[in-house]
Amino acid sequence: MGATEQEGGQRTDVGRVIVGYRDGVTVLGLVGEHDASTANDLAQSISHSARRSSGIVVSFSEADFVDSSIIRALLLGDRTMVSRGQRLVVHVDGSMMCDRILELAGAHRHLLCCDSLDEAITYAAQHDRTIA
């Protein structure tokens, strides 16, 4: 479980970005709640990873909440990756909440989303082509 903060007497999970690597792909795991307060951390992690790896997967498997600022960071990150002939792939892991937010924001039309982490890593590892 992620770190917690007291907010008006309520416990909330503070969002963290966990960085891992698999098959030459950077896997950024979102843990806890993510909103404007963590969007810059995610954007910096994506930017740093874009310079160092062959692809990026952002996993929502441990995310409790994401808002539009996180979706914006994902869209901008994918734009950077596409300009390099690569992709940022979102691993939704069957998360109905995250999947619904991506759908409501219209991000499904622009981001490659996968239920399987293995599939997401496979797509992210592919070079020099855009996956529709």
Rounded to 5 degrees, what are φ and ψ at 69? -65, -30
Q: How many domains does the chain have?
A: 1
84 CA to centre of own chain: 18
Q: Confidence band (pLDDT; 50, 70, 90) for 5?
A: very low
At 22 the pLDDT is: 93
132 part of a folded domain:
no
6 part of a folded domain:
no
- Residue 1's CB: how many other CB atoms inside 10 A? 8
Domain carrying residue 118: 12-125
Q: Confidence band (pLDDT; 50, 70, 90) for 128?
A: very low
Q: Interior CA angle at 43 toward 5 and 65, to 5°?
A: 45
User: What tens digit of pLDDT does each residue of 64-104 get?
Assistant: 888 999 999 999 999 999 998 888 999 998 666 777 787 87
Mean pLDDT score, 13-34:
92
1 part of a folded domain:
no
Distance CA 37, CA 8 (A): 17
74 part of a folded domain:
yes
At 130 the pLDDT is: 46
Task: Please state the pTM of the whole predicted model.
Answer: 0.84
84 part of a folded domain:
yes
User: What tens digit of pLDDT does each residue of 27-53 get?
Assistant: 999 999 999 999 999 999 999 999 887
Distance CA 118, CA 109 (A): 21
5 part of a folded domain:
no
Provide the CATH number for the domain around residue 46. Answer: 3.30.750.24
